[in-house]
Structure 1
């Protein structure tokens, strides 16, 4: 099921997954991503008892771009989507770059958000001073060159080069998602039209949403992490050291946060994603 909502003069497109009538939840994809979920995620959601909405943030997919948006700018879109679906109360979840957007809803919609689970989320970066060195970034990922360039430079050429590199690897027979270290790669994405459609929407059609996300992360997020009082879990993979360091800072700032980890890398495997969804349904 798919649909759209209007927010002022913008359109926000969304897809629905899972069990209609199940626990209402809104999911936020990473940076970059679109509303189209992979089959393994769709399968996990189908058995979770969750009725999940995944929207394209402005500038992704078919959603109208919103120049100058902040992380907190997602909240009016979420309110419009929840009202369209008839949801007074709902859970939120977000992966990687979707994490800050889920946290924004937890902070700014305390009367509507029941629970918030984020996986591999970033934390607010440190962007003052000179451009960070690789050594500084390795020691503290909050001091990263991408966030610094988002405020002090031009991200677009770097994003376009990254996208070309990803699609070149796919065209050479690579999988849709790079495997975790030591794991076997998935099947060639070029042999799966649905996988190629997801990759094209994310890395070829346009980079506006991706760039706007990264700029929004580098600016003040528009809310205080200390104002989050709904239950929060911070998930990250056992081999994802960078996300673990981000989680250290998020856990210190969010009073209600609990740390969780799963066996794997940045993207949760199916069993871990099922556990995240199960946690959302707890009362």
Structure 2
């Protein structure tokens, strides 16, 4: 069994963030690379087994954490996407990290980009998988989404998004067959973790959606670290148009399109994206 070091990081405002550290396999390679994982919406921030195994096999130290209102982290209504950079900066300082890479899936993608834009000199590379682009980057930001109601409500403010949450139900058409196969197989733990996050209430997801639909607090042009955008072409939650907009907006970005993947099955690319991060200068 892998020993996960879970700790609470104190913030200047009196809040706390729950973070998790997974060391490299002591009997395996050691690369010196640390990757901070930004979870999707909603999740607890606990490390997911497929990510843990891929990181340990490559000698990578993995750090994950719960954003405010997730996984025991202190709520912070009104937070923007940019605030993730300050949060991760405090986590990194508490762990003695200098330079590190960031990776985000789905709702974690924008927060990973925030770190690269607002922690200059500390981020060696960024990976986003099925991540959103800023609203102003597309003429119709929700086009192609099967169930955009949460984001549409979020654009009207937190109160409207909270009201929407009272009757919101998951639309099964949001996932394609490959997504359901991933959730029944290697990514089953992700589904369980979403269930745990749901038990804590909707505040984390509400605050995420409101942050996504509002100005992010940074410009994609400020993301100077190399960026890898990974996208399933069959994604019905975050369409491929978002991936293309991210690549167009970031100064140093490349796009990996996966034709057969949807929103969850695209996570099968995690191991090769870690290889990509390892190949970057540190």
Deviation at residue 264 of structure 1 after TM alignment: 2.2
Q: Counterpart of 1:226 in 2: which secondary structure?
A: helix
Relative distance call for 1:28 and 1:215 in structure 2 (3 A) is: same
Aligned to 2:40: 30
Aligned to 1:53: 63
Aligned to 1:17: 22
1:111-260, aligned counterparts within 5 Å?
A: 111-125=121-135, 137-138=142-143, 144-152=148-156, 154-162=160-168, 179-180=177-178, 183=181, 186=184, 198-240=193-235, 242-260=238-256
Q: Counterpart of 1:102 in 2: which secondary structure?
A: helix
Mapped to 2, the partners of 1:195 and 1:224 lie a distance apart of 30
Aligned to 1:173: none
Runs of 5+ in structure 2 lacking a partner? none
Relative distance call for 1:280 and 1:161 in structure 2 (3 A) is: farther
Task: Indicate yes or no: 2:11 matched with 1:7.
Answer: yes
Relative distance call for 1:269 and 1:45 in structure 2 (3 A) is: farther
Deviation at residue 138 of structure 1 after TM alignment: 3.3
TM-score (norm 1): 0.81
Check whether the contact 1:60–1:206 (CA below 8 A) recurs between aligned residues. no
Alignment length (residue pairs) = 261
Relative distance call for 1:184 and 1:86 in structure 2 (3 A) is: closer
Deviation at residue 155 of structure 1 after TM alignment: 2.0
Task: Indicate yes or no: 2:102 matched with 1:96.
Answer: no
Relative distance call for 1:184 and 1:217 in structure 2 (3 A) is: closer
Q: Deviations over 1:234-279 (max 9, x none)?
A: 1112422643110111111111111113352212456511011111
TM-score (norm 2): 0.81
Runs of 5+ in structure 1 lacking a partner? 170-176
Deviation at residue 13 of structure 1 after TM alignment: 0.2
Relative distance call for 1:39 and 1:24 in structure 2 (3 A) is: closer
Aligned to 2:277: 280
Q: Deviations over 1:33-80 (max 9, x none)?
A: 112233333222221221111110001110000111110011111111
Q: Deviations over 1:120-141 (max 9, x none)?
A: 11011259x9xx8xxx8435x6
Relative distance call for 1:108 and 1:221 in structure 2 (3 A) is: same
Check whether the contact 2:179–2:263 (CA below 8 A) recurs between aligned residues. no
